[in-house]
């Protein structure tokens, strides 16, 4: 079934992304990122040069001005994931969907001038740090504090599981600037690489996404100048997070749909080339039925996700809609990839194969960006109120 959300400009952009992937997403590059546990800076700079990152940066700061149009970002996800480059898709997503939007939406003019042009070129890598060792789902339970002092804040605390955390030049950090856990007790503050007392900690060893860094961060009496408080005023951090989290969840839904589609296509190709009992395995009725189910799941998934992309473009994607999309897409992705692994037989378990890596990458989609249990809370609470 064809999709309706893309026009000629998007298809022209798809060619640019395909070209980029061919040039910079080689097996050698992927193996290098996996060995180092991070996408290297040269690749990020090349992506900036080709206009593949910085899509959400406003045009006046050197980006593509597509903050409210997720179709271009969807194409980046589709093409990188289809090429078996989940880690690259992840690194690009953190920059464009998690870090840039906080500056683009809420930054002061000076903050935008200082950070956004470099984020569009890949010279500056951003990250978003909310989760702590003791608080993930319960964000208002964080303990990292930013205490007001003359000219700035002293930040103390720790964050964990931060994507791009080891490579980031600047981290949008969720901190407590007030007492208690009322929404106005929290702020977002920019903590810069190299600030005294800021330690990037160690990269965490993960089940999947081996080519993209995830790190612990610690802050020990870090002096952060007051001009780094996002938006220039205290007490807005929680509301700022609530405003951007639907985009984060949409982005996970899109990545999940792209991975499900890729998994289906890899499996179709594989079952045509693999023979058993003197015939390609695609000829067994079980294989055909499974492939049919996988395709139906992928096509119906895109219909749902594409509608969410449109709603986001119309500024109508609510927290509940984004939560539903995240649940549906990540759970269907898991089923499709699991089936893909099965139809690959033993090779499906070998990480040289895209299907095995995508399966391992996918597991976290139901956990990060808010677990699917928390997503169900969001949807269910709204239903109970209605």
Ligand X SMILES: Cc1cc2nc3c(=O)[nH]c(=O)nc-3n(C[C@H](O)[C@H](O)[C@H](O)COP(=O)(O)OP(=O)(O)OC[C@H]3O[C@@H](n4cnc5c(N)ncnc54)[C@H](O)[C@@H]3O)c2cc1C
Tokens 């964990």, residue located: 160
- Comparing every residue's Cβ against ligand X, the nearest one is 136
Under the criterion CB under 6 A, does residue 379 sit at the interface with ligand X? no
Checking DSSP bridges between strand 126-129 and strand 170-176, what pairing results, if any? parallel
Among 61, 161, 302, 328, binds ligand X (CB under 6 A): 161
Under the criterion CB under 6 A, does residue 181 sit at the interface with ligand X? no
Under the criterion CB under 6 A, does residue 331 sit at the interface with ligand X? no
Cα–Cα distance, 55 to 53 (Å, whole number): 5
Among 77, 163, 167, 187, binds ligand X (CB under 6 A): 163
248 as an active site residue: the answer is yes
Is the CB of residue 73 less than 8 Å from the CB of residue 47? no
Under the criterion CB under 6 A, does residue 184 sit at the interface with ligand X? no
Rg of the chain (C-alpha set)? 21
- Residue (of 325, 326, 337, 362) closest to 260 by Cα position: 337
Task: Identify the bridge partners of residue 346 per DSSP, sorted by sequence position.
Answer: none
Under the criterion CB under 6 A, does residue 382 sit at the interface with ligand X? no
Under the criterion CB under 6 A, does residue 377 sit at the interface with ligand X? yes
Under the criterion CB under 6 A, does residue 211 sit at the interface with ligand X? no
Q: What does the block give as tokens for 157? A: 């605390």
Under the criterion CB under 6 A, does residue 363 sit at the interface with ligand X? no
CB of 165 to ligand X, least distance (A): 7
Under the criterion CB under 6 A, does residue 157 sit at the interface with ligand X? no
User: Closer CB to ligand X, residue 137 or residue 318?
Assistant: 137
Report the b/e string of 66-92 with b at 16+ CB within 10 A: bbebbbbbbbbbbbbbbbbbbbbbbbb
User: Closer CB to ligand X, residue 81 or residue 282?
Assistant: 81
Q: What does the block give as tokens for 47? A: 């992506």
Is the CB of residue 350 less than 8 Å from the CB of residue 356? yes
Under the criterion CB under 6 A, does residue 49 sit at the interface with ligand X? no
User: Closer CB to ligand X, residue 119 or residue 364?
Assistant: 364
CB of 204 to ligand X, least distance (A): 7
By CB under 6 A, how many residues form the interface with ligand X? 20
Is the CB of residue 240 less than 8 Å from the CB of residue 108? no
Among 206, 243, 272, 274, binds ligand X (CB under 6 A): 206
Cα–Cα distance, 138 to 121 (Å, whole number): 34
Among 131, 145, 181, 193, binds ligand X (CB under 6 A): 131
Cα–Cα distance, 217 to 132 (Å, whole number): 9
Cα–Cα distance, 297 to 259 (Å, whole number): 12
Q: What does the block give as tokens for 366? A: 């139901």
User: Closer CB to ligand X, residue 45 or residue 367?
Assistant: 367
User: Closer CB to ligand X, residue 141 or residue 225?
Assistant: 141
Active-site choice (78, 216, 234, 248) = 248
Cα–Cα distance, 370 to 346 (Å, whole number): 33
- The 274-313 site mask, x for binding ligand X (CB under 6 A), equals ----------------------------------------
Residues forming contacts to ligand X in the complex (CB under 6 A) are 128-131, 136-137, 161-163, 206, 214, 364, 367-371, 373-374, 377
């Amino acid at each position: 079934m064809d999709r309706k959300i893309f026009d000629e400009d998007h298809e022209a952009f798809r060619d640019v992304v395909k070209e980029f992937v061919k040039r910079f997403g080689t097996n050698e590059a992927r193996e290098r990122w996996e060995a180092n546990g991070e996408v290297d800076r040269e690749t990020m700079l090349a992506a900036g040069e080709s206009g593949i990152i910085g899509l959400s940066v406003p045009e006046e700061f050197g980006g593509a001005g597509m903050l409210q149009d997720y179709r271009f970002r969807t194409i980046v996800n589709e093409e990188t994931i289809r090429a078996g480059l989940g880690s690259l898709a992840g690194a690009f997503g953190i920059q464009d969907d998690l870090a840039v939007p906080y500056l683009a939406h809420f930054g002061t003019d000076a903050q935008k001038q200082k950070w956004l042009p470099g984020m569009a070129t890949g010279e500056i890598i951003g990250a978003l740090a909310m989760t702590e060792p003791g608080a993930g789902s319960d964000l208002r339970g964080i303990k990292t504090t930013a205490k007001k002092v003359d000219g700035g804040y002293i930040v103390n605390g720790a964050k964990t599981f931060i994507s791009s955390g080891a490579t980031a030049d600047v981290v949008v950090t969720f901190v407590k600037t007030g007492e208690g856990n009322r929404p106005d007790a929290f702020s977002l503050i920019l903590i810069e690489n190299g600030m005294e007392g800021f330690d990037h900690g160690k990269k965490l060893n993960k089940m999947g996404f081996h080519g993209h860094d995830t790190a612990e961060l610690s802050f020990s009496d870090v002096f952060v100048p007051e001009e780094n408080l996002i938006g220039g005023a205290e007490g807005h951090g929680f509301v700022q997070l609530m405003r951007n989290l639907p985009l984060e969840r949409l982005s996970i839904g899109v990545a999940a749909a792209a991975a499900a589609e890729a998994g289906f296509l890899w499996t179709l190709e594989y079952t045509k080339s693999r023979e058993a009992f003197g015939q390609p395995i695609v000829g067994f009725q079980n294989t055909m039925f499974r492939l049919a189910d996988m395709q139906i799941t992928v096509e119906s998934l895109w219909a749902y996700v594409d509608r969410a992309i449109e709603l986001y473009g119309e500024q109508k994607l609510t927290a509940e809609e984004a939560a539903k999309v995240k649940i549906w897409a990540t759970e269907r992705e898991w089923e499709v990839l699991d089936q893909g692994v099965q139809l690959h037989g033993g090779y499906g378990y070998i990480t040289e194969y895209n299907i095995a890596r995508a399966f391992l990458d996918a597991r976290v989609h139901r956990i990060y960006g808010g677990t699917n249990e928390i997503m169900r809370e969001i949807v269910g609470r709204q239903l109970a109120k209605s």
